[in-house]
Homo-oligomer: A and B are copies of this chain.
Amino acid sequence: MAVTLKQIAEKAGVSLTTVSFALRGKQPGKRRLSPITVERILKVADEMGYRPNHVAASLAGKKTYTIGVLVTALRGDFYERVLFGIKKEVYPKFSPVLAVHNYNSGYEKNELENFISKRVDGVIAAFSGHAENIELYREIKEKYNIPIVLLDRRIPGLELPLVRPDHFDTSYQAVNSLFALGHRNITYIGGADNLEYMKLFNQGYQTAMTELGLKDNISVISQSHAHQNQKVLKKFAAQVISAWEQSSPQPTALLVISDWLAYEILGVCQDRGIKVPDDLSVMGLDDCSPSELPTIGLSSVWADQEKVGEIAAKLLLERIENNTGEPTRIILPVHLRMRKTTRPL
């Protein structure tokens, strides 16, 4: 069945060690081998159809060349882009093990334990927010000395490097751009603020409004659970628009925590004959791909998620290779994407 180093060694008339080094090139402990033997070994290995056994190599070498990537969810082309950035950065030296927790504490625990058992060389994770798993993160870091890089949010009590888009500036910029268009009455449609990015969105909104002298116009509508299925979003969207219809003075713009919720709001507007952007401007905050579709054209704020992944991976590799690195915090700039759902007043 599977060919081993030993078999190659026998066939090539050299020792197993020589084969091991020959096959891996010169990288490790500077052993010098005659090019002629190397060539012979390579040939034999090729003829026999040798495939290295990573499992054995990992056990012996105490390195698995594997990193654990734990994200909150896969849907919605968000962590997909992050994952792509990670893959790009570590390829082909490391391979990522993908895990998803969906904000479920049990899944998160399970996946993290799995990372430990798999002896991954490093972890990139988006913390779920469940405090009961903090000790597990600490164990990974301190007991197992596995480097961790965080995505999007910190873990209270743990000093860990973090990479995320500038959430505060996201809503801050959005409010300012709306202001520049002439809007003064801007309502923020938010989430429960239990996740750090939501809190920052909210703060960015509040700060911008205050700075612009619009403190009295601040108004927030929010719903407890942010990550929901389409049905729940639809219902919430209807509530938002009903509230808007009844309010006076009516806000001229809505700043919406997620593009997918904004799409539903657009739908409700359409049903009720509210013209966007003529009667109402709508703006999302996490530029998802449908926003760019010609029939949607939702104004939103774009973050380079791929770069988030790349940088996280880069930080992780540094830490894996040099066992160094302080808990840096890297906040990436975001960019306005003004499209068709916002207009000058």
Interface residues of A (CB under 8 A from B): 1-2, 49, 51-56, 58-59, 64, 74-75, 77, 80, 83-84, 87, 92, 95-98, 100, 110, 113-114, 116-119, 139, 143-145, 230, 234, 263-264, 266-268, 270-271, 289-290, 292-296
Contacts and interface: CB of A to CB of B under 8 A. Distances in A.
A296 B290 CA distance: 10
* Identical chains bound together, number: 2
A74 B64 contact: no
A213 to B, nearest CB: 34
Contacts of A55: 55, 58-59, 64, 118-119
Contact of A294 (B83, B119, B264): B264
Nearest to A57: B117
A47 to B, nearest CB: 13
Contacts of A295: 263, 266-267, 270, 295-296
25 contacts: A1-B143, A2-B143, A2-B144, A49-B139, A51-B117, A53-B117, A55-B58, A55-B64, A55-B118, A55-B119, A56-B59, A95-B114, A96-B98, A97-B97, A263-B290, A263-B293, A264-B293, A264-B294, A266-B295, A267-B293, A268-B294, A270-B294, A271-B294, A290-B290, A295-B295
A234 B59 CA distance: 51
Closest 5 CB pairs of A and B: A267-B294, A290-B290, A54-B117, A51-B116, A55-B58
A148 to B, nearest CB: 16
B294 A296 contact: no
Nearest to A296: B295
A97 B74 CA distance: 15
